Structure 1
């Protein structure tokens, strides 16, 4: 048994939950999550892709090895949000190749009367694209990306030059968000925004009766995570449909990254904090903050940089930059360091506290829901990226988006429901105000109790409580 200082804390609802109560909470969690999945299943597709009818027309200049064509998008609205143009080249050779082509793009918006307004002039700018060809079919290459659909129809003038590629056809494909999904996104995130705000108010109001010094470590962290959950649901979402600025997408990225990194910091802090009460800033918090801050910076950096550059140059492709490889391995490396550090804290916490019923219950409850969220996140990443996570040639701007409405609803549902469960379990118990001096020390308060007695209450305690209530009611009647 390790030595531990006695620290006063507000009794959590977790300790007063009966077995039936605990099962009901778990069932409600999974029923609510199932409901979000059903909404996603009934929802529309997220990305709509279509090929231009004239995109396969071959207009080659064999002498100059140059191909040119113009492709026109379908009519769009602000709910389509963004527009991607990609190309798939078919060659006459059956050999495996890794060719390079130079691409030039001019972009015009079509208004009433079929008049054109030049939006971007890239006639004198050649951007290089690298890709892989297997037999006659080549990988899809990125051409241009419109970050905000301010025009109803776009016309792209594309030029492709090559030296050693025997091109047969080039097929251009447009991709855009479904307008129906955009409406689903607004209402779905707004619903969780309202629920998150209500949960924040109720939770903080329940703890307002107690001194913040008496709050447990979990209670303090949930009080921080709930407002960040409101930011994660982003009250500024409607602005990205009406404001033509990269600021809205950058803010959305920052909000999401901030919440995710706070959640990661919450996990490692709880596991480490259960093992010691002297939590000095330099030795306890600083290493954790450094690891999580690096992850936050890397998550925010690339999308923010991409959004800002897109507004000035629709043909900008970050993977052509020499720093992308450094960025990718830095992000993956920092995540691996975090996972190893978290595993170390989990193993040491379980090893030191497994014989202590009070902390064993806290660890089991905390680890159970953490495991659910982690498994869900790993499955989502695997389904969304697959092997493309390590492939430099897949179109990240679309692959990083949700593949369908199920993924979108499931992710927001899981994150929000997880925080709601934490807020409910860590909120003060009904009798907490009468036990304000509750001692959070297993050696003094729960040394003779089993795990089930700690979480659900023993039969003797329940019998004593019922006898007290019956005696009190008889005295009141007299």
Structure 2
């Protein structure tokens, strides 16, 4: 067996294990408590309801204006809920065509119509027992302007079975206070991840790379990726009016999560492959499966972002055929990954039952014997534990006398 760098995990006592888990659950509980007691993530602002009587006809354009927004609101959703005139108690479904136009207003209102886009889409209306489901009219992934003027036009609303009393619009956005808390949390996690990465690199500075274990090699990869996962560039989202910081955040998260999936495959397979791990037979099949998952996740994210940039009223449900194809592809590859992981876990557990404990193998190596033996073992030998007790203590003088006589 090759000589590998010792891991602190193998020398932890039971007390240290308990302490590690206690600290972990304390930190986890503290974060959960802050999340519960902290500000809400999404805030809603209801716009005045639009009555069919006041407008005369709901098929005419409905002009809405948002209140003042800031970059701390991050994103904007416009929701719509139809209020039936009377409840018949029966279920009602209908596809409603609509047109949405969005224009941005500068802070000084000097240029009221910076951008006017009109897009036609169809939304599915579902009502039961006098209550209708909420419809997403549009979604803005980032906010360029302080105010927006939204014009919505519904078509083909007339139906003898279904008459509309009011149309209720609701704006949803990120809470500005939550955005500030998120900035601080991400900053703290970035700092702690950087400190842990530096300490890890410092602890292995005197050990050759070829002597690192597979866990240590993967930690040297996962820690920098975790640093990117926490996104040190996240504050740029509030300083730059662009889609790029948000896309960068999604890309970093996909890379780290897929690297973590790849680590699990390599770690469990590594229990059975203790020698040289060839790239073609060991890493390539795993890279192929995880790479497909990464490609599907990134493609879906880019697809959604690009379409929303050109059309704020776009929804993945509109492009049903292509989205369902990508979704089925992702589920198939994810199922293959889970089957492969379960297979490796079962094989690793069966192999471990037939293998001697790993610290026992290091005991046979003189290079690690000094690390595992206590001072008493070094001074008095391994027979020290077998000496008779006198008043609850080992008679060291008797053992010394016997050693001197030899």
TM-score, length of structure 2 as denominator length: 0.84
Contact 1:88/1:171 (CA < 8 Å) preserved in 2? yes
Trace 1:20-419 onto structure 2 (pairs within 5 A).
20-56=15-51, 66-92=59-85, 93-111=88-106, 117-123=112-118, 125-162=119-156, 164=159, 166-276=163-273, 277-321=275-319, 322-358=321-357
- Match of 1:345, SS state, is helix
Kindly state the Cα deviation for residue 37 of structure 1 after the two structures are TM-superposed. 1.6
Aligned counterparts of 2:53 and 2:336: Cα–Cα separation in 1:
51
Contact 1:51/1:172 (CA < 8 Å) preserved in 2? yes
Which range moved further: 250-259 or 329-338?
329-338
Q: Which runs of 5+ in 2 are unaligned?
A: 382-395, 397-406
Kindly state the Cα deviation for residue 354 of structure 1 after the two structures are TM-superposed. 2.1
Once the two structures are superposed, what CA deviation does each residue of 1:161-197 show, in whole Å capped at 9, x if it has no partner?
Answer: 1254533322111000000110011110110101111
Aligned counterparts of 1:116 and 1:100: Cα–Cα separation in 2:
36
Provide closer, same or farther for how the CA distance between residues 113 and 249 of structure 1 changes in structure 2, counting only shifts above 3 A.
closer
Higher relative contact order (CA 8 A, sep 6+): 1
Kindly state the Cα deviation for residue 311 of structure 1 after the two structures are TM-superposed. 2.2
Once the two structures are superposed, what CA deviation does each residue of 1:99-135 show, in whole Å capped at 9, x if it has no partner?
Answer: 1111111223345676662244344x32111242223
Kindly state the Cα deviation for residue 88 of structure 1 after the two structures are TM-superposed. 1.1
- Match of 1:101, SS state, is strand
Higher Rg: 2
Contact 1:76/1:153 (CA < 8 Å) preserved in 2? yes
Aligned counterparts of 2:208 and 2:193: Cα–Cα separation in 1:
24
TM-score, length of structure 1 as denominator length: 0.72
Kindly state the Cα deviation for residue 446 of structure 1 after the two structures are TM-superposed. 5.4
Q: Is 2:17 aligned against 1:17?
A: no
Once the two structures are superposed, what CA deviation does each residue of 1:363-415 show, in whole Å capped at 9, x if it has no partner?
Answer: xxxxxxxxxxxxxxxxxxxxxxxxxxxxxxxxxxxxxxxxxxxxxxxxxxxxx
The alignment covers a number of residue pairs equal to 370
Aligned to 2:384: none
Aligned counterparts of 2:244 and 2:107: Cα–Cα separation in 1:
30
Provide closer, same or farther for how the CA distance between residues 186 and 192 of structure 1 changes in structure 2, counting only shifts above 3 A.
same
Q: Which runs of 5+ in 1 are unaligned?
A: 1-5, 360-439, 448-453, 472-478
Comparing both structures, which one devotes a greater share of its residues to helix?
1
Provide closer, same or farther for how the CA distance between residues 47 and 118 of structure 1 changes in structure 2, counting only shifts above 3 A.
same
Give the superposed CA RMSD.
Answer: 2.6
